[in-house]
Amino acid sequence: MNTLTGKRAIVTGGASGIGLATAILLAQEGAAVSVVDINATQGEIAVKEINTSGGKAVFILADVSVAADCQRAVQITVKQLGGLDILFNNAGIVRRADVVNLPESDWDLVMAVNVRSIFLMSKYAVPEMMKAGSGSIINTGSGWGLRGGRNAVSYCASKGAVVNMTRAMAIDYGQQKIRVNCICPGDTDTAMLRDEASQLGQPIDQFLAEAADRPLRRYAHPMEIAQAVLFLASDASSYVTGAILAVDGGGTA
């Protein structure tokens, strides 16, 4: 416990799912956390839960596909928390369709939320990490960033981009002691997973059964993904950068 005492973290998409679990875990481990999300109601609930449990968190309402919002999120974090050491680029969406049936607007939206947000948040976070003398950036990829998937062309493309962005950023900022890594979750028990079933018009029970079709015979819980983020955020991974960590119950195996 308290492996992150004194650290300051940003978690995008921190109001629900993997982001919420990670924000809670980082706070439990001693970090002060900025929960960044487009959902104000859920974001305030998340921060209240962390603060009433003895942690320290602030909520920042932001659309992470918008440059001004990303810059403001970093500025507020630095002002209120005293600096920035950890950035978890987790905000993401999925639109399930093949290339013929996917609206152009959905392609643009997925790329904006899943890829542009990492570029923008990192653009403003890296200079603050340089001031601190080190930092850890963790990007959320996907098993479908490592291999293809059916009826998910924009999602697969965006997560493939995240994987290689991670490698490029690790090369660029290693000398500044900023580590950049990527987690690639498999199907995880979140609202987004259930929304996929709705998009595909599949019964939820059938969809979840297919999600569990992997060596461990189940899908993940958000806190299991958060534990992997904690490892990459902490000094336990001090010699790890440019890594792509599959946390998928063996799905990509």
Q: Could you list the active site residues?
A: 155
Are residues 154 and 110 in contact, defined by beta-carbon separation less than 8 angstroms?
Answer: yes
For residue 41, the Cα-to-chain-centroid distance in whole angstroms is: 20
Cα–Cα distance measured from residue 85 to residue 179, given in angstroms and rounded to the nearest whole number: 10
Dihedrals phi, psi of 130, to nearest 5 degrees: -60, -40
Cα–Cα distance measured from residue 173 to residue 188, given in angstroms and rounded to the nearest whole number: 31
Cα–Cα distance measured from residue 67 to residue 54, given in angstroms and rounded to the nearest whole number: 32
CB atoms within 10 A of CB 24: 23
Q: Which residues are CB-contacts of 51 (< 8 A; sequence separation ≥ 6)?
A: 57
190: nearest Cα among 21, 4, 3: 21
